[in-house]
Chains A and B, each alone.
Chain A
Amino acid sequence: MPLLTQWFIKSALVYLTVSLLVGVALTAQGAVRLPAVVDALAPVYFHLFMVGWVTQMIFGVAYWMFPRVSKENPQGWEGLALVTYITLNVGLIMRAVVEPILALRPAPVWAVALIVSAVLQWIGATVFAANTWRRVRAR
């Protein structure tokens, strides 16, 4: 298993755990009084699960299992996969932190940070699609 796949899958497992804990906090908010920031965590919960867990797990397994580009260079350009890993995760973590803060205390700095997080995640997905496209071929 390539090193980057290990990072993708281990990170995905962390996001799965964190997203489910956020889900617990969202549900618990109805029964016990938690900080107001918990109310703003619903979109964070969905995206930690769908992007951090589901999508990242698919990225990691696809990077490992999809047909090789060549014998010498089985996974294609590793640099692009590294760009995907970094931008997707930095973008997602930024979003998870900034989105609730922006909801509670709107300020230009948080708005800019949220846009940066969106752009980073978009780069991660687009680079993954471009890097994977040539490995998806009929034999």
Chain B
Amino acid sequence: MPRLSCWFIRASLAYLVAGFTLGALMLTLKAVVRYDGVGLLMTPHVEFLLIGWTVQVTMGVAFWILPRCEGGTSRGAVGYAWLAFVLLNAGVILAGLGPVLGDAGFIRLAGQVAEAGAAVAFALHAWRRIRRASF
């Protein structure tokens, strides 16, 4: 497994645990004080699990197993994939923790722009690797 996939997947596992921890806390609050879940905990719960966990683990595995470029030794424009990793994690932290940090609107927007940038960067990396395997 390439080093970048390790980073993607280990980060995704951290978000999995963080997201489930917030979810368990919200469910407990719901049971105890009829907490409706709309508030500070909901945004990081959704960001951590939807983007930090599912999208990130998918990118990590895709970087690992998609067909390599011509010649079979290179994974192509790896810089774009690293950029995707940095932008995705910055985005999840900003968008998820924006409401906790106070100025929710601007910080959350910046985080979501970073997440969209991560999607573009990963697509630029992966596009050339998505093709029929040559035997």
What number of A residues sit within 8 Å (CB to CB) of B? 33
CB distance from B63 to the nearest CB of A (A): 12
Separation of A44 and B2 alpha carbons in the complex (Å): 37
Which residues of A lie under 8 Å from residue B30 when comparing CB positions? 99, 102, 114
Q: Does A121 sit at the interface, judged by CB under 8 A?
A: yes
20 additional contacts, CB 8 Å, given A129-B17, A133-B10, A138-B2?
A50-B54, A55-B16, A55-B53, A58-B57, A110-B31, A111-B32, A114-B27, A114-B31, A115-B32, A121-B20, A125-B19, A126-B17, A128-B13, A132-B9, A132-B13, A133-B13, A136-B13, A138-B3, A138-B6, A139-B2
Taking CB as reference atom, which chain B residue is nearest A47? Answer: B23
Q: Which residues of A contact B16 (CB under 8 A)?
A: 55, 125, 128-129
- B residues 29-67 in Cβ contact with A at 8 Å: 30-32, 34, 37, 49-50, 53-54, 57, 61
Q: Which residues of chain B have C-beta atoms less than 8 A from A95's C-beta?
A: 27
Interface: A106 (CB within 8 A): yes
Residue of A nearest to B15 (CB): A129
Q: How many residues of B contact A (CB 8 A)?
A: 30
Bound Cα distance from A112 to B32, whole angstroms: 8
Query: With the chains together, A106 CA to B3 CA distance in Å?
Result: 50
Give the nearest-CB partner of A112 in chain B.
Answer: B31
How far in angstroms is the closest Cβ of chain A from B48?
11
Does B10 contact A122, Cβ atoms closer than 8 Å?
Answer: no
CB pair A122 B24 closer than 8 Å: yes
Give Cα distance in the complex from A75 to B24, angstroms. 28
Q: How far is the CA of A126 from the CA of B23 in the complex (A)?
A: 13
A86 CA to B54 CA, complexed, in Å: 21
